[in-house]
Chain A
């Protein structure tokens, strides 16, 4: 029997619902703290530092940095949910063991966690988006497409999170993951300034991390610069998400069914 994405049935949604149910009972604790970082970014970078920068790539700095902040909000929320959140459910609470003693498979638990992480990323980033629209950052109709991309970006990082979570022996390894990957990715991936400022080698690394593609796609949408040259980026964004999800689902299966 296959253990990858292909074996996933819609039953995974029942686990997603479990997470949503818990989230809704604790929404106050979940929503506001998650907004602190993106709001701070808007003030510090967009309005603060931005007031010293005339233009970046031909637009006001706030317009430039807004998609980056949005993407970071999405991936950070998904990352926290699928690292500490999932690990807690898996190891401290043994919730997953209980779930896979029912017809739900271990792969479906992995999938549910990823989709849930992506959902949380979507919720947080959408609230940030509303805030940005309210202060007049975006005016193009293409803004409506942003949640789709933030959801995908969150999905991508949720999958990476589950890969890490299902492979580590103790929670402390997350320190390496955050310091070595998540934090650098937040700043390297064209979020606050163009990737082209880096030496070639760093640029290659930056483009390998799918976040760079997500941010660039989002920025093209908000600045109305959509063109065919985005195709490879879109392909990488979708392709890497698919591959990472497949790895994550298999990895979770191996972790839970020994």
Chain B
């Protein structure tokens, strides 16, 4: 067991950030945390990497208590925080070397590691660049490279791909799957359900500081939503008209969008032939549908 949390609570003065959380992360798996803004994902991760202290409950990482063995835990962790915190006073390669020194690595060893990691994240030609000269995607890749300097057993990634272009995102996915193949355990948060579905063996959906459900993406989809979704765009009067006519179909509305759920595409045949000209999308259901169903469609304050 890499991480084990039992009735974990975290309160910041009067704000409850995490409540009654129980979860376990197994060696070698990729474990995802998803949930609306403010759900408590970052706080949960920061407790794992010992930057936030649990208010109550039990949290063990590598079997070690986070309240007592921070140093031993952190020595075996790699951390990619939500906000980049590269050292802007140091060049790209120096960032890695200085970081390696924090782990007690010798100079020669860290230089070799730095070269290897820059290659791995395809930053090999940027070794001498100052940080402000790097693009957003390069900075993010550098933060990931930095998290690997100590060859961690557990890599914690807080929204590793937010704000990045598809190319960089695919590169990062590739690398993370690579790392997983080499036996590194991953904990990841993301707002892209496609990413969670692609990378994670198991996902915990959080909302308002609590866990709503947990399981493999396939199981969550099967359990919570029908296999097919039909999305329609319709103004209010048309939507009301459709809803009145097809009362029998399970559906949800969100703004101008109507979502119908069904066990097979043929269930929508009647509806589609009644409104042949409407903008539509028929697709298999995804983790995103589960997410929206479990956490609702309204914006969090």
Contacts and interface: CB of A to CB of B under 8 A. Distances in A.
B71 A105 contact: yes
Interface residues of A, number: 24
Contact of B85 (A17, A21, A22, A98): A98
Contacts of B99: 98, 102
Nearest to B75: A103
Interface string A62-91: 000000000000000000000000000000
B272 to A, nearest CB: 52
A257 B50 contact: yes
A14 interface: yes
A101 B84 CA distance: 13
A95 interface: yes
Given A99-B102, A102-B103, A103-B102, A257 B90 contact: no
B209 to A, nearest CB: 16
B49 interface: yes
Contacts of B89: 22, 25, 93
Interface string A20-59: 0110010000000000000000000000000000000000
Interface string B116-147: 00000000000000000000000000000010
A14 B101 contact: yes
B81 interface: yes
A105 B70 contact: yes
Interface in B61-107: 67-68, 70-72, 74-75, 77, 79, 81, 83, 85-90, 94, 98-99, 101-104
B81 A257 contact: no
A1 B81 contact: no
B285 interface: no
Among all A-B residue pairs, the 8 with the closest Cβ atoms: A94-B85, A102-B102, A101-B79, A22-B89, A98-B85, A103-B75, A103-B71, A14-B101
Given A103-B71, A104-B102, A257-B50, 9 more contacts: A1-B70, A14-B102, A21-B98, A25-B89, A93-B89, A94-B83, A97-B85, A98-B85, A101-B51
Interface of B: 12, 49-53, 67-68, 70-72, 74-75, 77, 79, 81, 83, 85-90, 94, 98-99, 101-104, 146, 150
